[in-house]
Chain A
Amino acid sequence: MYYLFDGTYLGFLSCVFESFERKESNIIPLMQEDYQIALFSETRTIVTDNRKALRVQKGLQARVGKVEAMDFYRAFLSEDRKAWLASFFIVCQIFSGRADIRQDYGDEHVLYFSQILKKVSRERHRMKAFIRFSKSSDGLFFALVEPDFNVLPLISDFFRKRYADMPWLIYDMKRKYGLLFDTRQVGEVQLSPEEVQDATMPSIAIEMDERDELFQRLWKQYYTSTNIEARKNMKLHLQHVPRRYWKYLVEKK
């Protein structure tokens, strides 16, 4: 049976809760927008209930520990429906007494889950690496990104700790929200379409710090100078910096 929920992690956990309460198995969790996939099949709409979701979360933590319980959130951020299904299966197994199921790599769901986790973690790492801030004249450092997965929540701490003495904004163009740090705390923000438009062409719309262009130029210069022509290996280069990331990389623009 298909469970349709609102696409939040709390909604996902609510699905787990409902399936146990209703003793329904073989559940496929989907977002309401995915409804076409479930057309003509048996479906149930699950209303997100924070209290129920938290009970599932607590239960998970008690069974597999806090760190491993986080893995389900990470996998969820992949937005990959097959990963959601694998997660759902594994969580249900854990609640049925198989707390060690995550090591059963011979199982298809478990293996897929571990592969997705790896991909999410790689994307998270890439965002730590590939984010490029520009400095506006009012001192805000801002960056635009389009990560493969919804990893902003996973990099927030990293940037808050590292760039603690300057205000910054990291905006996910695909998912249309961003993280804004005001030198005290990080909050989620949504830009209006006009603001997004401005941000994509900062040189025209936003007044930049007078030396920002200089440092972009110097960085490009450095990038070129540090390359060793005799060792050129574009295949390896593309493996490390796939083309889809070039758009926002100063040195590849």
Chain B
Amino acid sequence: MQRIEEKLKILADAAKYDVSCSSSGSTRKNNGGIGDASTSGICHTYTEDGRCVSLLKILLTNHCIYDCAFCVSRKSNDVKRAAFTVEEVVDLTMNFYRRNYIEGLFLSSGIFKDADFTMERMLRIVKKLRQEERYNGYIHLKTIPGASEELIKDAGLYVDRMSINLELPTEAGLKLVAPEKDHESVKKPLAFVNEQMESFKEEKKLIKHTPVFVPAGQSTQMVIGATPENDFEIMQVADDFYKNYKLKRVYYSGYIPINNENSLLPQIGSAPPLVRENRLYQTDWLLRFYGFRLDEILNPQHMHLDLDIDPKLSWALRNPHFFPVDVNTADFNAIIRIPGIGRQSALKIVHARKFGGLYTYQLQKMGIAYNRAKYFLQCVDTPFRLGNPSMEHVRSAILSESNSGNRRQAVTGQLTLF
């Protein structure tokens, strides 16, 4: 018998490559037991790599019958194996939750015996939490590819979020490193759960007491930099999945080399592509919240994101005709396209200008990155400019101005460690 400490060590370590730790999107209430969901999620702490820790993220077991080359739990890998019992997972979850360490449980698993056998065991944990412990906190369940629709449907009644990972952005990439897997077995359950969510919602309109089904929706994850897909291909896949399966989130996880056995994968010692990962998230953000279309940022002429500057700035430099934007008259949707201005500040600007034209000194205080934005905007006291400044010049001016507040800095700052 392994001690619980050792199991936790092995099974938390193996689960950490799933980057999602979100606890948002659910509105589950506490009805007579313990726990509820916080709509916008709560990060209870952060790891030293700066990632949010919201959920107890563990595998039920790291035994696996498959041999995916990018995965630490693959069959041929020489690692210590462990498996939690149903009771152990429930006990850990409840005791962490009551001490306010976590928002809930993120349960995933290697596949032992077969998909249904594994899925059935996970379902037992989820049911025990909800029914016996009267636990209403967050549960994220990672579906096992190949599990039966019945089990998936049953689980959907108890969990808040479900996910199933694409792993590699394209089918071709996946075939290279995980010949036993395909994208079809990911798409099918995603589509199935999506249909169920829709039909439960329809039913709810007619019958009030319809139970909720996966209230926080579905997500997926792609590993970046393990196989040769370019940014355009990756974001096309993400865009499709957002549209076709109404996903809540797509996660991009920079590949961290874990073995030297597969010569197709980056070898141990090569740094994970953190800047690129960051740029993909920024692009994702622009598509979902800033009204950008994918082809404005990435297209057959621009298949790679610029690593030196963020995608919004990069778009702005390629589209000088859009600028300068007059913040005193322009639409909200035009203002959020100005590099250095986010949605919050844009909202402030739109409100504030009703009280009179805005001046530079006022903008500077509103929390915008003025030194970057100044090339692209106009306000009451902006001096008249003859012609447009060359975008090449703007680019180098912004790059040389080491603005300590920007995110890119934090990322490069730590890359220099390697």
Contact = CB atoms under 8 A, between A and B. Distances in A.
Contacts of B365: 111
A118 to B, nearest CB: 9
A227 B49 contact: yes
A207 B43 CA distance: 30
Interface in A126-175: 128-135, 141, 143, 161-166
A51 interface: no
A109 to B, nearest CB: 12
Contacts of A223: 45, 47, 53
Interface in B319-373: 348-349, 351-356, 358-359, 362, 365-366
A62 B416 CA distance: 57
Contact of A237 (B32, B49, B100): B49
B50 A240 contact: yes
B44 A235 contact: no
Contact of A165 (B5, B9, B33, B272): B33
B119 to A, nearest CB: 24
A237 to B, nearest CB: 5
Contact of A125 (B29, B42, B47, B417): B42
Contacts of A165: 32-34, 134
B180 interface: no
A226 B57 contact: yes
A226 B15 CA distance: 8
B99 A134 contact: yes
Nearest to B272: A230
A193 interface: no
Contacts of B358: 106
A231 interface: yes
Given A221-B5, A235-B413, A235-B414, A230 B48 contact: no
Counting chain B CB atoms within 10 Å of each CB, the highest count among A111, A132, A236 belongs to A236
Given A215-B95, A233-B410, A240 B43 contact: yes
B225 interface: no
B4 A218 contact: yes
A233 B48 contact: yes
A217 B95 CA distance: 12
Given A166-B98, A235-B410, A226 B348 contact: no
A135 B359 CA distance: 56
B247 interface: no
A130 B366 contact: no
Contacts of A182: none
Contacts of B45: 129-130, 223, 241, 249, 251-252
Contact of B98 (A135, A222, A236): A135
Counting chain B CB atoms within 10 Å of each CB, the highest count among A105, A111, A165, A239 belongs to A105
Contact of B53 (A162, A211, A221, A226): A226
A236 B50 contact: yes
B362 A106 contact: yes
Interface in A33-54: none
B309 interface: no
A217 B143 CA distance: 30
Contacts of A236: 46, 49-50, 410, 414
Given A104-B352, A134-B99, A141-B98, A221 B49 contact: no
B5 A106 contact: no
Nearest to B344: A118
Interface in A189-220: 211, 215, 217-219
Contact of B49 (A166, A233, A251): A233
Contacts of A25: none
A236 B46 CA distance: 9
A230 B365 CA distance: 37
B155 interface: no
A133 B48 contact: no
A67 interface: no
B96 interface: yes
A133 B32 CA distance: 21
Contacts of B292: none
A185 interface: no
B151 interface: no
A232 B13 contact: no
Contacts of A250: 99, 101
B38 interface: yes
B139 interface: no
Contact of A164 (B34, B44, B366): B34
B255 to A, nearest CB: 10
Interface of B: 4-5, 8-9, 12-13, 15-17, 29-30, 32-36, 38, 42-53, 56-57, 92, 95-96, 98-101, 134, 254, 256, 271-272, 274, 348-349, 351-356, 358-359, 362, 365-366, 410-411, 413-414, 417
Given A106-B353, A143-B100, 5 more contacts: A105-B366, A106-B355, A129-B44, A225-B8, A235-B413
29 contacts: A105-B349, A114-B348, A130-B44, A132-B100, A162-B34, A162-B36, A164-B30, A165-B34, A165-B134, A211-B95, A219-B99, A221-B9, A225-B8, A225-B12, A227-B47, A228-B16, A228-B17, A228-B49, A230-B272, A231-B51, A231-B274, A236-B414, A237-B46, A237-B48, A237-B49, A239-B50, A240-B52, A249-B45, A250-B101
